Amino acid sequence: MASESSFDIVSNFDEQELVNAVDQTRREVLTRFDLKDSATEITQDKDSLTIVTANETALKGVRDVLESKMVRRNLSLKILKPGEMEDAAGGRVRLKFTLQRGLNQDLARQITKLIRDTYPKIKAQIQGDAVRVVGKSRDELQQVIALLRDKDFPVPLQFENYRS
């Protein structure tokens, strides 16, 4: 009997790289001519990121800098889910981003259905905030990975724990 191979589909990001991107953004905001006097504050919690700055124009500039720093550090912009821009104290504006990690149940079901419909011999199971994919053929598992990379999901996908 042939042995089975498997891998996990997860959605995660490197927290240290995000911390570095935020630190670089803070430094650049302090030195950029158009943002220097905006009194910008960027705070990061475990599952959110908040930008408080002088006005909408400065907020757009800070957001552009943050996104460029994230892209340079190989962080997907899909991990940032922006909320509504709101007024803060002192006539300033605030924008709060929710940091997305893990696959929610609806997305996990959508992924497993796509895999089952396309490759009936492959088994896909939801395990918490990840999806375990099991099959006998390594080639089919690699085709599943290629299929999922071609689709545009609302969160970045990583493929881990490839075992044969």
- Name the band, by pLDDT with cuts 50, 70 and 90, for residue 164: confident
Reported as a pLDDT band with limits 50, 70 and 90, residue 3 is confident
Give the SS3 label for residue 5: strand
Beta carbons of 159 and 13 less than 8 angstroms apart: no
Strand partners, 52: 41, 94
What pLDDT was estimated at residue 70?
Answer: 95
pTM score, whole prediction? 0.84
pLDDT, average across residues 86-103: 90
- 159 near 5, Cβ under 8 Å? no
- pLDDT for res 34: 85
Question: In this model, does residue 105 exceed pLDDT 60?
Answer: yes
149: Cβ contacts below 8 Å, ≥ 6 apart: 157
Q: Residues 141, 124: contact at Cβ < 8 Å?
A: no
Percent of the chain with pLDDT over 70: 99
Residue 70 backbone dihedrals phi, psi, to 5 degrees: -65, -40
State mean pLDDT over 108-121: 94
pLDDT value, residue 26 = 92
Across 35-44, 75-84, 102-111, least confident range: 35-44
Q: Give residue-wise pLDDT tens across range 119-154.
A: 999 999 999 899 999 999 889 999 999 999 999 999
The alpha carbon of 34 is separated from its chain's Cα centroid by a whole number of angstroms, namely: 29
Domains of the chain: 5-12+103-163 (3.30.70.860), 15-99 (3.30.70.990)
- What pLDDT does 109 receive? 94
User: 125 by DSSP, 3-state: which?
Assistant: strand
Average pLDDT over residues 90-104: 91
pLDDT at 2: 57
